[in-house]
Amino acid sequence: MNKDLKDRTQEELEKLVVGLRQKKYLAGYLFKFIHAQDGREVAALSTLRKAFREQLVEQGYFISQLKTVDTRTDSDGSAKYLFELADGERIETVLLPEEDRRTLCVSTQVGCPMGCVFCATGRIQFRRNLTAGEIADQVNRVAEQAGRITNLVYMGMGEPLLNYDAVLKSIRILNHSAGKNIGIRHITISTSGIAPAIERLAEEEIRPRLAISLSAPTDALRSKLMPVTNKYPLAGLLEAVRKYQARTGQRVTFEYVLIDQVNDSVTHARLLVKLLRGLMYNVNLIEHNPFSGCEFTGSSRPRIQRFAATLKDAGVETTIRFRMGRRIKAACGQLQAGYHPRAQKKPL
């Protein structure tokens, strides 16, 4: 394990402290200092004896911190943060303030290996997974500048379920009552559909909400938009969701990016209803957000309304998602952290 103390749950800190022949309860001071008080230097943790602090520092333990390189604010109130990691890689995080909540959209990877053709992050080279400490610190850094975060969505750069252990660990850290204390029902993981990981998630004792990005009702169309379909076709993916619901009793959200003339007809909407029959779910419709080099356009308002009405008429709870942050390229699918996109893919 690396020596970043921010990358540890309270239980892991307890193991470390006991291993250093100190009293277990001291781990609670460390955890609170790092996650509730946003402490930077072990040496400044005055509730620990000086000799113990020195022991930690001598053995190479430290508290990592993301460097804020740039902050942009949209006139709709949303803000995008560009962070640099210790090895110089960069990620973006988005704050979406609404009346009664302040949602942070966190990244889980530098780039994304999934290659969805409608997504800016999918167009850049995948570099690496983030650690739990790097995921958790996105919350610390934004909270420092903008105040308390009430909701978390794992919908920034990357595929959360391909970085399963770090993502779950970051949730344990951020949900902990001695740390940021973000309610588990206020945390959502969004996945492009890694079926075995969904089944694994069903077995966890900690249960964030689950959103699945679908964006097409058939394998033929979905595999063109989201190559993950070739590995996990819709039947297997939805079977995993069925098992997840049987185990957890939780409703899931399906996300559907509406792309003009590609996946946004009434027929597509009807096929979607048929496909999802028997599941407990709601649908979030997201108008496709533009980025440079992308050949797609977002669906027109009338087409979005018609698609939504078809779902609603079939009894599906449907929400059309806002487009917050578009002007600062902070909306869904626009995050690139300044990395250069790969060559453009063939149009459909």
Stretch of residues binding ligand SF4 (CB under 6 A), selected from 1-9, 63-71, 118-126, 196-204: 118-126
- Side-chain-side CA neighbours of 189 within 13 Å: the count stands at 27
* Angstrom distance (rounded) from CA 112 to CA 339: 12
Q: Is 114 in the site for ligand SF4 (CB under 6 A)?
A: yes
Which of 65, 121, 188, 310 lies at the binding interface for ligand SF4 (CB under 6 A)? 121
Query: Hey, which residues does 128 pair with through a beta bridge?
Result: 110
CB of 106 to ligand SF4, least distance (A): 12
Q: What would the two tokens of residue 276 be?
A: 């999802």
* Angstrom distance (rounded) from CA 99 to CA 162: 33
Element (H, E) at 304: helix 301-313
C-alpha dihedral over 147, 153, 159, 165, to 10 degrees?
80
Stretch of residues binding ligand SF4 (CB under 6 A), selected from 113-121, 133-141, 176-184, 302-310: 113-121
Which of 48, 66, 112, 202 lies at the binding interface for ligand SF4 (CB under 6 A)? 112
Q: Is 192 in the site for ligand SF4 (CB under 6 A)?
A: yes
Determine whether 116 is an active site residue.
Answer: no
Q: Which residues are near ligand SAH by CB under 6 A?
A: 118-119, 155, 159, 190-192, 213, 215, 255, 257, 286, 288-289, 332-333
Q: At what angle do helices 266-275 and 301-313 cross, to 10 degrees?
A: 30
Q: Is 130 in the site for ligand SF4 (CB under 6 A)?
A: no
* Angstrom distance (rounded) from CA 267 to CA 286: 18
Q: Is 160 in the site for ligand SF4 (CB under 6 A)?
A: no
Determine whether 332 is an active site residue.
Answer: yes
Terminal-residue alpha carbon distance, the chain:
44
Catalytic residue of the set 92, 159, 255, 287: 92
C-beta separation of 297 from 264 below 8 A: no
Nearer CB in complex with ligand SF4: 39/122: 122
Query: Hey, which residues does 287 pair with through a beta bridge?
Result: 258
Q: What would the two tokens of residue 81 be?
A: 């943060």
| Contact track, ligand SF4, 310-339, x by CB under 6 A | -----------------------x------
* Angstrom distance (rounded) from CA 202 to CA 243: 8
Between the alpha carbon of residue 310 and those of residues 32, 221, 298, 337, the distances in Å are: 49, 19, 18, 37
Nearer CB in complex with ligand SAH: 28/113: 113
Nearer CB in complex with ligand SAH: 173/257: 257
Question: Residue with CB nearest ligand SAH?
Answer: 333
Which of 4, 137, 159, 287 lies at the binding interface for ligand SF4 (CB under 6 A)? 159
332 binds, among ligand SAH, ligand SF4, none (CB under 5 to 8 A by kind): ligand SAH
- For residue 52, the one-letter residue type is F
C-beta separation of 283 from 311 below 8 A: yes
Nearer CB in complex with ligand SAH: 56/116: 116
- For residue 149, the one-letter residue type is I
Nearer CB in complex with ligand SAH: 138/215: 215
Nearer CB in complex with ligand SF4: 42/157: 157
Which of 119, 132, 135, 202 lies at the binding interface for ligand SF4 (CB under 6 A)? 119
CB of 256 to ligand SAH, least distance (A): 8
Q: What would the two tokens of residue 105 be?
A: 């959209």
**CA 123, 208, 164, 230 torsion: positive or negative?**
negative
Q: List interacting residues with ligand SF4 (CB under 6 A).
A: 112, 114-116, 119, 121-122, 158-159, 192, 213, 333
Catalytic residues: 92, 332
